[in-house]
Chain A
Amino acid sequence: MKRFTYVRAASIDQAIESLSVHADAKLLAGGTNLIDLMKYDVSTPTTIIDINDLPLREINETADGGLRVGALVTNSEVAIHPFVARHYPLLASAIFAGASAQLRNAATVGGNLMQRTRCPYFYDVLTPCNKRAPGSGCPARTGLNRNHAILGASQLCVATHPSDMCVALAAIGATIIVQGPNGVRSIPLADFHRLPGDSPEKDTTLVDDEIILDIFLPPVLEHHRYSYLKIRDRLSYAFAIVSAAVLLTINDEAAVSLAHIALGGVAHKPWRNTAAEALLIGRPASRVNFDQFASMLLSGSVALSENDFKIDLAHRTVVRALEQAASRTPQSQFDKRVH
């Protein structure tokens, strides 16, 4: 670990100012990702700005029926919040699918959005990695890549975004409210995480001296159906190989009237395809249509040397999650059986 200066921000403005003043500064929230990365010398900030005193711990219903969740609210607090449990069960379910109870108690919403990839090379400073050390190369491309991206990767990086929560947020269509020296702006979740392209070192479109204030969840869908299905290497406590977040409404004629579907574990960001979603609208919620949708969602996927299985597995996972949602039997995160 590199030695660093520790600052405790007393206000949001002070946090932003500290970010602007200190090059290589990092905000500290729950610390479950940042401290890990610092211990392995992957992240080497010279200043740590502790934001735990900032007034970002509230969950408030908005006038239009939506919800604002402060950046410092813990993952557990979100998942057990009565309003979330009732109106955004997809989000609660995705959070429960991730990490462990202890980690969820410490991890914050802001930190979860900003968590970094779990690519093993990224974590190991004795190996090259374009994301960690730009220009050093990407050993995953020709090495261990069974859990790497099948969509939206670049020559320079094939890493995936590891979050479960963000996959649900993508399906819900959340907005991230951030503040920088020039004021407050909002970023739709779809634009928050980016594809690696030519600069894999950048995970998000957040600028260096910006801070996440809260996330905004749009008003609740009446009578929606949902499921979060996560496939992983063991039945608990592992990052997704693929995951699917499904929000669905079905009208009286048994036709799909709304479909928001996001995939996790397949790309550098939660993966959505609104054109494919549009094709589901007005059609029966049937296996054939789900199959077609999955094919379109995954069109353009490219396999690396070890992750060919992911394309087919992602397809099956989406179809199953759609079926679970349609039949109002969402995947339980406590019974480890997939049904």
Chain B
Amino acid sequence: MDQEQTVTGKSILRVDGPQKVRGEAKYAAEYNIPDLLHAYVVTASIAKGRILSIDLAAARRFPGVVEVLSHKNRPWFWPVSFLYKDAAGPPGKPFVPLDDDRVYFSGQPVALVIAENYEAARDAAALVKVTYKAEQHTTDLAASTAFKPRKRRIGVAPVPHPTGDADLAFAVAPLKIESTYTTSPENHHPMELFATTVKWGKIVTVYDKTQSPKSVELFLKVAFRLIGRKVRVVSTYVGGAFGLGLRPQQSVFLAVMAAKALERSVRLVLPRDHMFALGYRANAVQTVSLAADEQGRLQAVRHRAVAATSQFEDAQDPMLLFSASLYRCNNIKLTYELAKLDTVSPCDMRAPGAATGMFALESAMDELAYVLDMDPLALRLTNYTERDQSENRPFSSKALRECYALGSERFGWHKRSRAPRSMREDKELIGWGMATGAWEAAMSPAPARAKVMVRSDGKFEVTSSITDIGTGTYTILSQIAADTLETTMDRVVIRLGDSALPFNPIQGGSWTAATSGAAVQSACRKLKSTIRSRAKHTGVLGRGQGAELLSASALIDLLKLQRGRKLSATATMFSFPFGKKFSSATHAAVFAEVRVDEELSVVRVTRIVCAVAAGRILNPNTARSQIIGATVMGIGKALHEDAAYDHNLGRCMAHGFADYHIPTNADVYDIDVVFVDETDAEVSPLGVKGVGEIGVVAVAPAIANAIFHATGERMRHLPITIDRLARAGSR
């Protein structure tokens, strides 16, 4: 098939777009089942302690209430905590709702009301009276003691070993900076609320919002020992997740618990305020020390991070991943520590770790550039590296230099005057800042499977359990299938997000396109050769050998001749992370313009250019949407998002979008996304690196650096809210 006709690499509109626009795409909370019960969670008001008493009487009497469950009367589930381990879980004891009388965090579920309708469940929940014996709690990272995690979280790269002598190099270097950066906790707020609808029966069908139907199925089977029943987890559409759906959530556990207890179908939709207690992007305190010689060559990089975790798990993310590999330097020392808080466990949130770690590293690089009186981009180019020095191997591809060049050109970076406060228009100070972004480019560590089958109408049906969390997975997998099967997209029917379909790992880490995409490609290739050989045997070869054989009419004939035998193929993709000869990463260069009212500290991010090198781009349309969405999230991280805690109460006081600010349309001006060509034969069979996370990494530091350039104030805490900026300015 010639290049003209292929669809991979082209801006194809989302194949699931029409269903979504017409409201036909069903989400977990939208499955209506006869006699469905509705559940509502009662949450803890204290951060730490024990439940002394729990009075369910009033709630039980409430009209419409069927049952109220607490740790005292809940159905049996395995008491052994290791059984609750999931693919994305960190070391420790996973939180199990309604397990016992212990309270680990404010907002923790302590009871579940199940009623004939949602309103009755919600209203009765307010009648549950809980008394506690509170214990001393800590939710303040600054007041908690740091420690090195004893066990490493599986799947998170180890913190690179020190090289050279960073302490000595830093001490003797002529030019250096050392700064401490802090971040507020952030919450994931996908548009779709976490929700589960359980259809109880011989087969237990669980419509769930998750990034991994397969791991939820496994988790439920183990946790509830659903012997003799089949469990099927369906997540056909997922309205965003950002990492909060990587682990089986409280909602699915509670809904299935209720269904099992009552042997009835149950739906649980968590309201927005409950979503603040499901997981969060760990807040961190980071100190970065950088030293350079007069030419700007890095002599020492030290980066120490202390990240929040819960009392019961050692959550870890790759916060320091790029501090050892992004720039050339012989003396590197990285320290990653945790501090325990009485909160729910932090969990992965878009570009976990990296987005926080790179804020510190890239702010520090900017600070160093000013110590050196050097252009911040020139400093990055001076320290550019073609090798991954932390692993001592080359990159499979790295077009970061091209990102810098293209991004800076589109932005007009060369017109920047270096001194802070040197650009203004009327009452606004103008600042231009930039930062580098990086994220792992990897295949999933777990295998991915895909199946493709010829339907009786001659169309191809592609199936995989992978979810589409809004990223465009349906579309790109259809494109890959169409091209591999040498046909048009209208002959490809695709079904995803169902644990009954061929196994796929969790959708996260930007590896879906590379891994599940490769599985689809491989299954389609297999199917083609199956078709050829069957055609030979059945004698329909008269139609020719090539694309003609794959036409609908030829396939219908073939199926008829086969008398009921199916035409299908299944393929499995493995990736071997060991003994790799290359390191692989996606890169980005982000340039931001801010305008800051000099007296009032009002910040506007008026322009962002984001140049991305992410290997082969399967669909510029969906890829661009990923980067735009991530950029907006980056603006939120830089200026707005703050899950503020009252440390006296040990409670997150943000309960909804009224107090947890995310950018509005007015906060988002011009976003210019450009992809740099990058061919990479090593990273994955399709040459794909993934675009899910890279867009968010460099945005916050670029904005913080632009604010410094505008105002001369170095803002070392995210988000940079008006109080912080105003206070800095009045110092």
Contacts and interface: CB of A to CB of B under 8 A. Distances in A.
A118 B119 CA distance: 25
Nearest to B123: A1
Contact of B600 (A120, A142, A234, A320): A320
A312 to B, nearest CB: 6
B653 interface: yes
Contact of B721 (A125, A233, A339): A233
B426 interface: yes
B600 A306 contact: no
Given A234-B639, A234-B661, A234-B666, A339 B426 contact: yes
Interface string A124-141: 111100000000000100
Contact of A120 (B653, B667, B722): B653
A159 B721 CA distance: 20
Interface stretch (B172-180, B211-219, B642-650, B679-687): B642-650
B649 A127 contact: yes
B666 A236 contact: yes
A312 B604 CA distance: 21
A31 to B, nearest CB: 16
Given A124-B655, A142-B648, A317-B600, A2 B722 contact: no
A144 B644 contact: yes
Contact of A234 (B123, B667, B726): B667
A2 B124 CA distance: 9
Interface residues of B, number: 41
Interface residues of A, number: 40
Contact of B663 (A121, A126, A142, A234): A234
Contacts of A144: 644, 646, 653
B640 interface: yes
B226 interface: no
A237 interface: yes
A174 B638 CA distance: 41
A13 interface: no
Chain A facing B: main interface SS: loop
Contacts of B651: 124, 126-127
B54 to A, nearest CB: 15
Contacts of B640: 233-234
Interface in B580-603: 595, 597, 599-602
A231 B43 contact: no
Contacts of B726: 309, 312-313
Contacts of A142: 648
Contacts of B601: 313
B730 interface: yes
Given A120-B654, A123-B655, A124-B655, A238 B661 contact: yes
Contact of B730 (A3, A41, A312, A319): A312
Interface of A: 1-3, 41, 118, 120-121, 123-127, 139, 142-144, 146, 231, 233-238, 241, 306-310, 312-313, 316-317, 319-320, 336-339
Q: Which 6 A-B pairs have the closest CB atoms?
A: A236-B666, A126-B45, A235-B666, A143-B646, A120-B653, A309-B726
Given A1-B119, A316-B600, 20 more contacts: A3-B123, A120-B655, A123-B655, A126-B651, A127-B651, A139-B646, A139-B648, A234-B666, A235-B602, A235-B604, A237-B666, A309-B722, A309-B726, A312-B730, A313-B726, A316-B599, A317-B600, A320-B600, A337-B604, A339-B427
26 contacts: A1-B123, A2-B126, A41-B126, A124-B655, A125-B126, A126-B43, A127-B45, A143-B647, A144-B644, A233-B640, A233-B661, A233-B721, A234-B639, A234-B664, A234-B666, A235-B666, A236-B666, A241-B723, A307-B723, A308-B727, A309-B727, A312-B730, A313-B600, A313-B601, A336-B666, A337-B604
